[in-house]
Amino acid sequence: MSIKLPAKTSTKTATGYDKSALGREQRRMAQPSEKKVWKGAAESPIAGVLARNPNFRVMIVDDNRPVRHLVRSILLAFGVAHVDEADDGGDAIRRLLKETPDLVITDLEMAPMNGLEFTRQVRQNPQSPNPNLPIIVMTSYTEKERILEISRVGLTEVMAKPVTPKLLSRNITTAMENYERTLREREELARANQAPQGVAGTTAEQEDTDYFAI
């Protein structure tokens, strides 16, 4: 699927990153004085996520290798032990079929399969291993109309570029909390539907329906 995006300015790379901003962030993460690794999961900015899932696995999807490596370095500094990378949406789909991560962080504009089409495939394809997989999209476009278009395909979070540790930790925490809350609500609904039957073989829900039908 081809999606027409607004024209980019000459100061940005193919993925929408300001080159100087990307370079500054890469240099900052490489500084020896920078606290790049948090001692133990308790100190990590995503401590809650890691506490609930010590084997937390993330896939980064971006056709720009420096950007993938930047995001990867931040995740490893957070204490994420398993980080996979994919060149574009199609490559990510193939990897998902082999091993499903707990979270995907994807760029918006890639070729041949962009972030929106990748998300549609995850959400709608019958062969998808997890249609509810949390997906964070990275984009430099923050216009209201564009954000609405992105949100309609089922993305969990939209993260503005350039990526920073603070921004990434906040989006990961929010995405996983929303995902876990959705799973709990579905489990509660499933248990409610399996509740013991009421009088004369009717469920409590059926009794309510019969009552209001009188």
Hey, which of 9-18, 22-31, 98-107, 135-144 has the most confident mean pLDDT? 98-107
Question: Angle between the 65-78 and 165-193 helix axes, to the nearest 10 degrees?
Answer: 70
Residue 20 parent element (H or E): helix 19-30
Task: Name the phi and psi angles at 15, rounded to 5.
Answer: -100, 5
pLDDT computed for residue 64 by the predictor: 93
- Residue with structure tokens 């476009």? 141
In this structure, the number of other CB atoms found within 10 A of the CB of residue 141 comes to: 18
Q: 67 with 107: CB under 8 angstroms?
A: yes
pLDDT of residue 153: 85
Average pLDDT over the chain, rounded to an integer? 78
Domains and CATH numbers, the chain: 19-192 (3.40.50.2300)
pLDDT greater than 80 at residue 8: no
State pLDDT tens for residues 25-79.
Answer: 454 444 433 445 555 555 788 999 999 999 999 999 999 999 999 999 999 999 9
The structure's pTM equals: 0.72
- Taking residues 132-142, report their average pLDDT: 90
- Residue 90: helix, strand or coil by DSSP? helix
Contact call for residues 59 and 85 (beta carbons, < 8 A): yes
What is the share, in percent, of the chain residues with pLDDT greater than 90? 51
Span 153-175, pLDDT tens digits: 888 999 988 899 999 999 999 99
Q: What percent of the chain has pLDDT over 70?
A: 71
The three-state (H, E, C) secondary structure of 97-162, written as one string: HHCCCCEEEEECCCCCCCHHHHHHHHHHCCCCCCCCCCEEEEECCCCHHHHHHHHHCCCCEEEECC
